[in-house]
Amino acid sequence: MKHRLCALLLCFALALSLCPDVLAAEPESVRVAVIDTGISTAVIAAENLAPGYNYIRYIRPQDSTEDRLGHGTAVAGIIVGSEPAGVTGICPDAVLVPLVWCSVDENGDTVKGKTDMAAQAIYDAVDVHDCDIINLSSGALSDTASLRKAVEYAESRGVLVVSSAGNANESAPEAVYYPGAYDTVLCVGSVDENGESAAWFSQRNDSVDLLAPGDGLRILTAKGTRIRGSGTSYSTAFVSGAAARLLTEDPSLTAPELRELLTGTARDIGPDGYDIDSGWGVLDPDAALARLLENTSFPFADVPEDAWYREAVEYVHRNGLMKGVTDRSFAPDDSLTRGMLVTILHRLEDEPAAPASGFADVKSGAWYAEAVHWAAANGIVGGYGDGRFAPNDAITREQLVVMLYRYAHYKGYDVSGSADLTGFADVSNISGYAAAAVAWANYKGLINGTSVSTVMPQGLATRAQASVILTRFFALTAK
């Protein structure tokens, strides 16, 4: 049984790498394994299908992955749609891989594989068929080691597993189905036709992550006709389709990020937050996509929306002043280095060339070298007086405002005005060379005291603090 906490980790980014000499390849379609009864090639378009495997061929060796029961085709139609049947899918660009573990024997009786077979299909979906998502619109009442390990393996390889909660709420409300009940599996129940509560047949327990349409649907048959059908199997397909749609937009999304996007944007229909009837709420594919697109433009997961420095980080990121330490991390509490700040200022000037500065610790070819040479040539930096610039030293608050003060002089900005700093108990800690700059910066509102009595000139400036100071500086100079 699983107990999920609502994680607000919904900040995601597109990691773009541009090379002007090489044409970008067409992105590969998201591949979804459909572990089911097969898929009808007469109903689902060839471009939406990839070769799969029939695990119960020992019963009918001549069988392919054609659907002899219709269930897998109904699932496939929800995910990708069917042009012959006039059905639009959730993600029409996805490619489905049919992995058959349920079919009929020579007598027409239904034959379904055991959990070991489902486990093998999961391994093959990952290793053989290179799938991004695994849709398993079925479940077993027993927690078996083989199935659990297969699910763990899929998670370790970054593959999202989506499974159904079960349809036995009236006859066996206590039943819990696997793999849906495993922590890393998105377990899907059905919402009723009105969209206001869990459907009468849908299991209610703490394995349920969210609900999706599944009550009184018009579903496809293996012949391409449409019939009425209900079940969490179909709800599962809606979620797999929504996940595929997100991955199509951003292929870098991880399985945990997909789960958080889908559950975090679900429409809550029960008590606030999670409840065992409806999980986190009803699937909202459009809201999930909107959240993804919103967060793509601001990629840093470690900068909360309510952080005091959020707007400043957005500004410096949007204007190319500061980058993340990784594609998805800004590291707001890390220190800004001296080399980083001169690089920011140099970038603002379109990176002009300058003669070598002569600093012994600024090696030719270093990422900050040209910026340091430029800053030294224009009187923005002077080093430590011993032949060193120390580009990798964490910058202090006074050093930061001194560089901005000198840069303002260089640009011809107004640097008049000076605050009385004698009210700060640590005013004596301000270095002589920095006194005018700190007084000017405080007067202009670029830096304030870290408390009512301290300005902490020797304190290290974090990346968050630097982003705020830079934002204030450029707002000031824009006037």
Encode pLDDT of 290-318 as tens digits: 988 876 668 898 999 899 999 999 888 87
What is the torsion angle, in degrees rounded to the nearest 10, for the CA atoms of residue 336, residue 337, residue 338 and residue 339?
Answer: -120
Looking at the domain assignment, is residue 26 inside a domain? no
- 74 within a domain of the structure (yes/no): yes
CATH of residue 244: 3.40.50.200
- If we measure between CA atoms, which residue out of 150, 158, 160, 152 comes closest to residue 263? 160
Q: Please say if the pLDDT value at position 66 is more than 90.
A: yes
Tokens of 270: 């029960």
Instruction: Give the pLDDT of residue 356.
Output: 94
- Which of 256, 274, 296 lies at the terminal end of a domain, its last residue? 296
Domain annotation covers residue 154:
yes
pLDDT band at 464 (very low <50, low <70, confident <90, very high): very high
Active site amino acids? 36, 71, 233
Note whether 262 and 378 are same-domain residues: no
Q: Are residues 120 and 238 in the same domain?
A: yes
Question: Three-state DSSP class for 193?
Answer: coil
* Residue 246 sits in the same domain as residue 207: yes
Q: Which of 5-9, 224-228, 276-280, 400-404 has the lowest mean pLDDT?
A: 5-9
Q: CA-to-CA distance for 322 and 264, rounded, in angstroms? A: 29
Q: Would you say residue 165 has pLDDT above 80?
A: yes
The residue range of the domain holding 434 is 310-477
Determine contact, residues 117/54, Cβ cutoff 8 Å. no
Indicate whether 215 and 255 sit together in one domain.
Answer: yes
Q: Does the residue 22 lie in any domain?
A: no
pLDDT value of position 160: 98
Q: Is the pLDDT of residue 321 over 90?
A: no
Do residues 348 and 391 share a domain? yes
Q: Are residues 227 and 373 in the same domain?
A: no
Query: Given 296, 329, 359, which residue is the final one in a domain?
Result: 296
Residues 144 and 176 in one domain: yes
- Range list of β-strands (E), 137-245: 160-164, 185-191, 210-213, 217-220, 226-229
Match 């004698």 to its residue by tokens.
Answer: 422
What sign results for the dihedral spanned by CA atoms 356, 358, 359, 361? positive
Residues 253/264, Cβ–Cβ less than 8 Å: no
Question: What share of the chain in percent tops pLDDT 90?
Answer: 76
Which range has highest mean pLDDT (55-64, 276-285, 326-335)? 276-285
442 within a domain of the structure (yes/no) = yes
What is the model's pLDDT at position 475?
81
Is the C-alpha dihedral spanning 132, 138, 143, 146 positive or negative? negative
pLDDT digits (tens, 9 = 90+) for 207-266: 999 999 999 999 999 999 999 999 999 999 999 999 999 999 989 889 999 999 999 999
Average pLDDT taken over every residue of the chain:
89
Residues 286 and 314 in one domain: no
Q: Are residues 334 and 263 part of one domain?
A: no
pLDDT digits (tens, 9 = 90+) for 382-431: 999 899 999 999 999 999 999 999 999 999 998 999 999 999 999 999 99
How would you class 191 by CB atoms within 10 Å of its CB: exposed for 0-12, middle for 13-18, buried for 19 or more? buried
Q: 386 in a domain, yes or no?
A: yes
Residue 117 has pLDDT above 70, yes or no: yes
> Rounded to an integer, what distance in angstroms lies between the CA atom of residue 283 and that of residue 269?
11
> Cα–chain-centroid distance for residue 372?
36
> How many residues does the structure list for the chain?
479
Show the DSSP H helices in 255-333 as ranges.
255-264, 285-296, 310-318
Whole-structure pTM value:
0.62
Is residue 254 assigned to a domain?
yes
Q: Kindly tell me if the per-residue pLDDT of 122 is higher than 80.
A: yes
Q: Domain ends where: 296, 320, 342? A: 296
Question: Given this model, what pLDDT does residue 438 score?
Answer: 95
238 and 351, same domain (yes or no): no
Q: What residues contact residue 167 under an 8 Å CB cut-off, 6+ apart?
A: 190, 201, 202, 203, 230, 231, 232, 233
Quote the number of domains for the chain.
2
Report yes or no on 97 lying in a domain: yes
User: Is 285 in the same domain as 356?
Assistant: no
Residue 441's nearest CA partner among 408, 412, 410, 463 is: 408
Together in a domain, 108 and 195: yes
